[in-house]
Amino acid sequence: MKSWTKNQLHRLRIAMILNSDKRNRYIVKHKIFKEVGEHFFFQPRFIPADPQLIKFHNNVVVTSNVTFVTHDIFHLGLNHLEQGEFCYQAGCIEIMDNVFIGCNSTILPNVKIGPNVVIAAGSVVTKDVPEGVVVAGVPAKVMGTFEEYVEKRRVNNRIYSVDELWEKFDQEKKQ
C-alpha cells in the first residue's frame, strides 16, 4: 500500500508542476520511470499508472498529451461474464535513442520503439517500431525514413517571423 500511495502522490505532484523543465528534473530525481537516459524531455503533465514499466533511453522527446498504456483493466468486465476469473494484464514499453513522439500519440503495452524514430502526432503505436523510420496513423504505419525526415528539416532550417509564416502559408494555399 505504501508504494501505491507514494506513486499516486508523485503523479499528483508532477501534474501540478507547470514548467516542463522543472517537471523533467522532478521525474529524473525521483526515478519515476524504470530508466531515463540523457537529454530526456517529457512534456506531458500526467504520468502513466505504472511508470516503472517504461524505459526511456538517450535523446528522447515526448510532447504534450502523449499517453503510455502499460496495462488494460478489461478483466473487470470479463469477470462479470461468469466464465472464470480473469487477471489484470500489464506490459512494458521501451523507447530507444533519438526518438520523437508527437502530441496526442498513444503507445500501447509490450511495444519497443527502435532508435532514430519519429512518431507523428496522433499516432497509435500498437506494435514494435523498427529502427530509422517515421510512423503515423491509427494504427501507426511506416511513412518514410528517419534520414528523409532529417533532410527535409535541414532544407527548411530557419526561423520565420509571424508575418513570414502567414505569407508562406498563403502562398502554399494558393497553389
DSSP 3-state assignment of 94?
A: strand
> Catalytic positions, please?
71
108 and 129 in contact (C-beta within 8 Å)?
Answer: no
Question: What are 168's three cell numbers?
Answer: 508562406
Q: What is the DSSP string of 51-79?
A: GGGEEE-SSEEE-TT-EE--EE-THHHHG
Of residues 86, 73, 77, 142, the one with CA closest to residue 114: 142
65 and 103 in contact (C-beta within 8 Å)?
Answer: yes
- Helix count (H) and strand count (E) of the chain? 5, 15
143 and 136 in contact (C-beta within 8 Å)?
Answer: yes
Distance in angstroms (rounded) separating the CA atoms of residues 70 and 91 = 5
